[in-house]
Amino acid sequence: MSAILLFAYPVLAILFCLFITSRRRMDLLIVLHALLHSGLGIHAFVNRGSLLSMDDLGLFIYLILSVLYSAIAFYRLGSQDSSAIKDYRIHTMFLMIFVMAMDGATIAKDLGLIWIFVEATTISSAMLISYSNRKSSLEAAWKYLFICSVGIALAFAGILLLVIAQAGEATLLISRIDVSKLSPFWLKISFVFILIGFGTKIGLAPLHFWLPDAHSEAPAPISALLSGALLNIALIPILRVDKLMQQSGMAALAKELYLLMGFISVFIAAVFVLKTKDYKRLLAYSSVENMGLIMIAFGAGGMAHYAAYLHILGHSLIKAAFFLTAGNALLIYQDKNHENIRGMLSTNKTSAWLWLLSSVMIIGLPPSPLFTSKFLIATALLSNGSYLLFGLLMLLLAIISWGIIRIGLSMCLGESERKKSLSMWVYLAPAGLLLIAAMIGIFLPILD
Amino acid sequence: MMEFLVVVFGLSLLWASVTNMLGTIIKILVFQGVILFAITLLKTTQLNWISFSFIALETLIFKAILIPWFIDDTIKHNRIRREVEASVSNFFSLALMSLIFVLSFALSASAPVWTAEVSPLEFGIAFATILKGIFIIIANKKLITHLMGYLIMENGIFLLSLSAGSHLPYIVSLGVSLDLMLSVLIAVLFIKRIRSTFDDAESPHSLKEE
Percent helix, strand and coil across chain A, each to the nearest 5 = 80, 0, 20
Q: What is the 8-class DSSP label of residue A177?
A: -
A328-367 burial, b at 16+ Cβ within 10 Å, e below that, comes to: bbbbbbeebebeebbbbbbbbebbbbbbbbbbbbbbbeeb
Domain boundaries, chain A: 263-448
When pLDDT is averaged across residues A65-88 and rounded to a whole number, the result is 88
Q: What percent of chain B has pLDDT over 90?
A: 13
Q: Is residue B171 within 8 angstroms of chain A, CB to CB?
A: yes
ipTM of predicted assembly, 2 dp: 0.87
Tell me which residue in A146, A167, A183 faces B185 most closely, judged by beta carbons. Answer: A146
pLDDT tier, B1 (very low <50, low <70, confident <90, very high otherwise): confident
Give contacts of A 135-164 with B, CB under 8 A. 135, 138-139, 141-143, 145-147, 149-150, 152-154, 156-157, 159-161, 163-164
Q: Are B150 and A220 in contact (CB under 8 A)?
A: no
Question: Which of A291, A298, A337, A336 minimizes the C-alpha distance to A315?
Answer: A291
**Cα–Cα distances in Å, from A2 out to A40, A41, A46, A50, A121?**
7, 10, 13, 8, 22
Closest residue in A to B131 (Cα–Cα): A154
What angle separates helix A184-202 from helix A251-275, to the nearest 10 degrees? 20
Q: Is residue B112 within 8 angstroms of chain A, CB to CB?
A: yes
Q: Is residue B182 within 8 angstroms of chain A, CB to CB?
A: yes
* Residue numbers in A near B164 (CB within 8 A): 160, 163-164, 170
* Residue numbers in B near A138 (CB within 8 A): 192, 194
Q: How many CB pairs under 8 A join A and B?
A: 115
What angle separates helix A303-333 from helix A369-383, to the nearest 10 degrees? 140
Q: What is the per-residue pLDDT for A260? A: 95
* Residue numbers in B near A115 (CB within 8 A): 174
Residue B115 pLDDT > 70: no
Sign of CA dihedral B79, B81, B87, B89: positive
Backbone angles phi, psi at B83, to 5 degrees: -105, 140
Question: Which of A417, A428, A310, A426 minimizes the C-alpha distance to A370?
Answer: A310
pLDDT tier, B116 (very low <50, low <70, confident <90, very high otherwise): low
Backbone angles phi, psi at A182, to 5 degrees: -75, 135
Residue A396 pLDDT > 50: yes
* Residue numbers in B near A110 (CB within 8 A): none
Q: Are A427 and A354 in contact (CB under 8 A)?
A: yes
- For all residues of chain B together, what is the average pLDDT? 78
Q: What is the per-residue pLDDT for B82? A: 66
Q: Is residue B168 within 8 angstroms of chain A, CB to CB?
A: yes
Q: What is the per-residue pLDDT for B196? A: 46
Tell me which residue in B110, B130, B164 faces A163 most closely, judged by beta carbons. Answer: B164
Backbone angles phi, psi at A337, to 5 degrees: -85, 120
Do the Cβ atoms of B181 and A116 come within 8 Å? no
Taking only the tens place, the pLDDT of each residue in A277-324 is 899 999 999 999 999 999 999 999 888 889 999 999 999 999 999 999
Taking only the tens place, the pLDDT of each residue in A103-140 is 999 999 899 999 999 999 998 898 888 877 677 887 88
Q: How many CB atoms lie within 10 A of CB A8?
A: 10
Residue of A117, A152, A160 for testing the chain B interface, max B β-carbons within 10 Å: A160
* Cis before B204? omega within 30: no
pLDDT tier, B205 (very low <50, low <70, confident <90, very high otherwise): very low
Q: Are A308 and A297 in contact (CB under 8 A)?
A: yes
Q: Is residue B154 within 8 angstroms of chain A, CB to CB?
A: yes
Taking only the tens place, the pLDDT of each residue in A194-220 is 999 999 999 998 888 899 999 988 999
pLDDT tier, B117 (very low <50, low <70, confident <90, very high otherwise): low
Q: Residue A299, Cα to own-chain centre: how many angstroms? A: 19
Q: Is residue B103 within 8 angstroms of chain A, CB to CB?
A: no
Question: Which of B135, B171, B139 minimizes the C-alpha distance to B153?
Answer: B135
Do the Cβ atoms of B181 and A119 come within 8 Å? yes
When pLDDT is averaged across residues A11-38 and rounded to a whole number, the result is 92
When pLDDT is averaged across residues B115-121 and rounded to a whole number, the result is 73
Residue A179 pLDDT > 90: no
Residue A3 pLDDT > 90: no
> CB neighbours of A424 closer than 8 A, spacing ≥ 6?
A78
Do the Cβ atoms of B174 and A170 come within 8 Å? no
Do the Cβ atoms of A189 and B185 come within 8 Å? no
Q: What is the DSSP string of B104-152?
A: HHHHHHH-S---SSS-HHHHHHHHHHHHHHHHHHHH--SHHHHHHHHHH
pLDDT tier, B152 (very low <50, low <70, confident <90, very high otherwise): very high
pLDDT tier, B51 (very low <50, low <70, confident <90, very high otherwise): confident
Question: Which of A322, A277, A286 minimizes the C-alpha distance to A433?
Answer: A322
Q: Are A161 and A193 in contact (CB under 8 A)?
A: yes
Q: Is residue B122 within 8 angstroms of chain A, CB to CB?
A: no
Q: What is the per-residue pLDDT for B188? A: 66
Do the Cβ atoms of B197 and A153 come within 8 Å? no
Q: What is the per-residue pLDDT for B55? A: 79
Closest residue in A to B133 (Cα–Cα): A150
When pLDDT is averaged across residues A157-172 and rounded to a whole number, the result is 85
* Alpha carbons B129 and A156: distance in angstroms, whole number: 15
Tell me which residue in A154, A170, A212 faces B167 most closely, judged by beta carbons. Answer: A170
Closest residue in B to A268 (Cα–Cα): B209
Do the Cβ atoms of B188 and A142 come within 8 Å? yes
Q: Are A160 and A213 in contact (CB under 8 A)?
A: no
* Cis before A369? omega within 30: no
- How far is the first Cα of chain B from the last one, in angstroms, to the nearest whole number? 49
Tell me which residue in A149, A183, A209 faces B209 most closely, judged by beta carbons. Answer: A209
The number of CA neighbours under 13 Å toward the Cβ of B46 is 21
Tell me which residue in A119, A154, A164 faces B177 most closely, judged by beta carbons. Answer: A119
Residue A188 pLDDT > 80: yes
When pLDDT is averaged across residues B119-136 and rounded to a whole number, the result is 90
Q: What is the per-residue pLDDT for B206? A: 47
Q: A59 to chain B nearest CA, in Å? A: 26
| Higher pLDDT, residue B180 or A398 | A398
Q: What is the per-residue pLDDT for A307? A: 92
Q: Is residue B87 within 8 angstroms of chain A, CB to CB?
A: no
Q: Is residue A275 within 8 angstroms of chain B, CB to CB?
A: yes
Q: How many domains does chain B have?
A: 1
Q: What is the per-residue pLDDT for B56? A: 80
Do the Cβ atoms of B188 and A145 come within 8 Å? yes
Question: Which of B4, B21, B37, B7 minimizes the C-alpha distance to B129?
Answer: B7
Q: What is the per-residue pLDDT for A402? A: 95
When pLDDT is averaged across residues A150-163 and rounded to a whole number, the result is 92
> CB neighbours of A142 closer than 8 A, spacing ≥ 6?
B143, B188, B189, B194, B197
Q: Are B120 and B114 in contact (CB under 8 A)?
A: yes
Tell me the residue type at A358.
S
Q: What is the per-residue pLDDT for B199? A: 43
pLDDT tier, B86 (very low <50, low <70, confident <90, very high otherwise): low
Q: What is the per-residue pLDDT for B208? A: 47
A111-142 burial, b at 16+ Cβ within 10 Å, e below that, comes to: bbbbbbbbbbbbbbbbbbbbbbeeeebbbbbb
Question: Domain range spanning residue B8?
Answer: 2-209
* Alpha carbons A256 and A192: distance in angstroms, whole number: 11
Task: Say if residue A448 is exposed, middle or buried (CB neighbours under 10 Å; 0-12, 13-18, 19+).
Answer: exposed
Q: Are A121 and A230 in contact (CB under 8 A)?
A: yes
Strands, DSSP E only, in A166-289? none
Do the Cβ atoms of A164 and B175 come within 8 Å? no
Q: What is the 8-class DSSP label of residue A428?
A: H
* Residue numbers in A near B115 (CB within 8 A): 164, 167-168
Q: What is the per-residue pLDDT for A75? A: 94
Q: A187 to chain B nearest CA, in Å? A: 11
When pLDDT is averaged across residues A423-442 and rounded to a whole number, the result is 93
Q: How many CB atoms lie within 10 A of CB A22?
A: 9
Do the Cβ atoms of B137 and A139 come within 8 Å? no
Residue A5 pLDDT > 50: yes
Q: Residue B123, Cα to own-chain centre: how many angstroms? A: 15
When pLDDT is averaged across residues A423-443 and rounded to a whole number, the result is 93
Residue B74 pLDDT > 80: no
**Cα–Cα distances in Å, from A80 out to A283, A321, A348, A421, A429?**
22, 18, 16, 12, 15
Residue A422 pLDDT > 90: no
Sign of CA dihedral A387, A394, A224, A70: positive
When pLDDT is averaged across residues A59-69 and rounded to a whole number, the result is 95
Q: Are B44 and B38 in contact (CB under 8 A)?
A: no
Q: What is the per-residue pLDDT for A233? A: 95
Residue A86 pLDDT > 90: no
Do the Cβ atoms of A122 and B185 come within 8 Å? no
Closest residue in B to A182 (Cα–Cα): B113
Sign of CA dihedral A38, A43, A46, A51: negative
Residue A337's SS3 state is strand
